[in-house]
Structure 1
Amino acid sequence: MTEPDFLQTTRASYDTVADDYAEHARDMLATRPLDRGMLDAFAESVLADGGGPVVDIGCGPGQVAAHLAGRGLSVSGIDLSPQMIAAARRDYPGLRFEVGSMTDLDLPDGGLAGALAWYSTIHLPTELLPGVFAEFHRVLAPGGRLLLGFQVGDEPRHRTEAYGKALSLVFHRRRPERVAELLAEAGLALQAQLVREAHDDGVEKTPQAFLLAVKGGKP
């Protein structure tokens, strides 16, 4: 099967800036207490349910997976970019990271206590979200938790440069209520959501959304 163009360009772009991004992102959570709060709520929910394997899907250079490991989760990461995975393995050698795609997860049915997609669905065309959310549902155990992070908005942004290097990345900004609807259609019930304003460091341009959902049953 021919790989979609957006996957090729996304992989190539992140390969190009992997080391720069790893350096930039390493301490980002330290200045974002609300983001940490959602990650910690996700971790506590998984542990309260008995724990189990968690996968950071689109883990980048691994800093969020490392944060979750520090909160007691058994976490690993996958990412489309081999260079991002190389950076994650270098910086967090105690965790397992593998190359993979959320559009075709190499994971067994119902094997995860939790899944994280932290600013990784943002590069997916909207028409692919139902299929990807169905994949998330497939790999989660009943009662498993999913946490999403993404930018809020209505129009995509195309970025052609970062860290002084040429790339091509489309950032799909979305409305939380629409994402929640798509999650529900995939059998993932919304448990909590947080929308915060853009951070004042000049990097963020729009509000940021975080949705915590659960597979089946009551939240």
Structure 2
Amino acid sequence: MSFMTMLSKKFSLPAQDEALPGRSDAIVPGEAHFVNGRSLQGPYPETFKTVLFGMGCFWGAERLFWQLPGVHVTAVGYAGGHTPNPTYHETCTGRTGHTEAVFVVYDPDQTSLSDLLKVFWENHDPTQGMRQGNDTGTQYRSAIYVGSEEDLALAEQSRDTYQSALKAGSHMASITTEIRQLDEFYFAEDYHQQYLAKNPAGYCGIGGTGVSCPTGL
């Protein structure tokens, strides 16, 4: 395979028949949340809700959300692709179709999806396609994966609102964020979970456009 062919594949999603085969055994978190001690897998309180965000490298993105009031637990993993139970190294080849994602479990009585979406939009650049800053490839694409039609509509509305804010702020590029209902989320390996709490000096690629997201989405 030529270098240019490899490069083009890094920026395009594989079809299902092109994806790596994966495996039947899932990666199961062996530890509780490093910061708050709660179970990553649950069970979660039945009134709590979940959402997944892809916004580049998942290390820094996860730290944003575990600090928020109303967030019960966070975890990192892989979503939006074809390969069952992928590993980190497989996801980084671009041949699983997954993006690095942060799984957020939250109490809707304490925080709202709109509040979480505001943090999402303001802390990365959702116009960059298959990259985020210097991190390049399909695994770094911007994404929102939700669990219901109601949340899907809210996420799409928030995208349109933020697109208008970007244009008003002279940021004319179009948002490329993938927004859809979630098919499957796969936990990442233990060493990725709450990485920046375990490694405070570790890499964090978080950076936004500088444009605020309007409240009351």
Q: Which structure carries more relative contact order (alpha carbon 8 Å, separation 6+)?
A: 2
Same fold (TM over 0.5): no
Query: TM bucket by the smaller chain?
Result: under 0.3
| Higher strand proportion | 1
The structure with the largest helix share of the pair is: 1
TM-score under structure 2 normalisation?
Answer: 0.28
